[in-house]
Amino acid sequence: MYQIATILFWTSFCGLLMATVAYGLEVLKRKKAGKPIARVLLVASWISLTTSIGLLSVYHGGTQLTGPNTLVLLAWALVLVYFVLGHFLKFSRYGVGCTALAALLLFIAQIIRPAADSLAPYPETLSAQMDSALIGYHVLLITFANALLLVGSIAAALYLYQASALSRKQTNGLLKSLPPLANIEKLWVRVLSVGLPIYLAGQALGVTRAIVVDAQSWYLDIRIMISGAILLIFSAALFLYYRGQTDIVLIARIALVGAVLVIILMVLARTLPTGFHVFGVFG
């Protein structure tokens, strides 16, 4: 079972790489491909990754929430979020960034994955903290929220690129392939508007569990502090946008700052050997 899951994992990884190339060719040609090759590759990769995750969950007696596996789950969620958004919000031609990021997450997960049986055991206190369904839902919500925030931030980056190019009256190939500026604006705002409440809900579950188990100084964990900063930054961006009195370019830049913190937190959550989330670190 483990070997089959591994084969499916790498099949998914290769499929995402091929999907990235296919999406990139669509953008360069500035028109949709006659056959939905990129979408087929994306769906096949997601199904393969889903099956791999399922088989490993059966093999280990549950879905592991350790560092590398959370990256795999994030890649899984990112592909799913992008596919849904591409279908409903007509963003399907610009999956090159999302599929490439998902493939990168899978690759990094393999690099930092420990050898068999080398995972450091959880301290007794952390085992008690993890022994709750709230932790599973907390990770699930944060994973999907991170995927949404990253997708929305990628769209915000495209908005900044197009706005800058238009202000300089540049018309290169990539610019011609992008949708109208107003459409990109609606996209990243809508995606962030969905992702932020999910992120808040995930944080609330994690904080609730920390309070219930009376975890000592949980609020001093640098990961908790950064997650709070992420919440505040994206909240500020959306507040300023809906208030309607702030330059959209400035708001998009604020969203990108939040995205950078999301990426920093993803790294720290899996490398920092101290703090409330130390169970994500391998020994």
More confident residue, 87 or 70: 70
154-196 per-position pLDDT tens digit: 888 888 888 888 777 766 656 666 677 888 888 888 889 999 9
Residue 82 shares a structural domain with residue 9 = yes
Residue 226 shares a structural domain with residue 157 = yes
What CATH number did the domain enclosing 77 receive?
1.20.120.660
Residue 252 shares a structural domain with residue 220 = yes
Residue 278 shares a structural domain with residue 219 = yes
Residue at a domain's end among 100, 119, 138: 119
Residue 148 shares a structural domain with residue 236 = yes
More confident residue, 2 or 27: 2
Residue 173 shares a structural domain with residue 81 = no
Residue 142 shares a structural domain with residue 80 = no
Please give the average per-residue pLDDT across 131-140, as a whole number. 73
For residue 126, the model assigns a pLDDT of: 47
For residue 124, the model assigns a pLDDT of: 46
> Above pLDDT 70, what percent of the chain?
73
Residue 45 shares a structural domain with residue 130 = no
Residue 139 shares a structural domain with residue 254 = yes
Residue at a domain's end among 62, 84, 119: 119
Residue 114 shares a structural domain with residue 126 = no
Domain count, the chain: 2
CB 46 within 8 A of CB 256: no
Please give the average per-residue pLDDT across 73-83, as a whole number. 84
- The boundaries of the domain holding residue 266 are 122-283
pTM: 0.73
Residue 210 shares a structural domain with residue 136 = yes
Residue 268: which pLDDT band, with cuts at 50, 70 and 90? confident
For residue 121, the model assigns a pLDDT of: 42
Residue 13 shares a structural domain with residue 133 = no
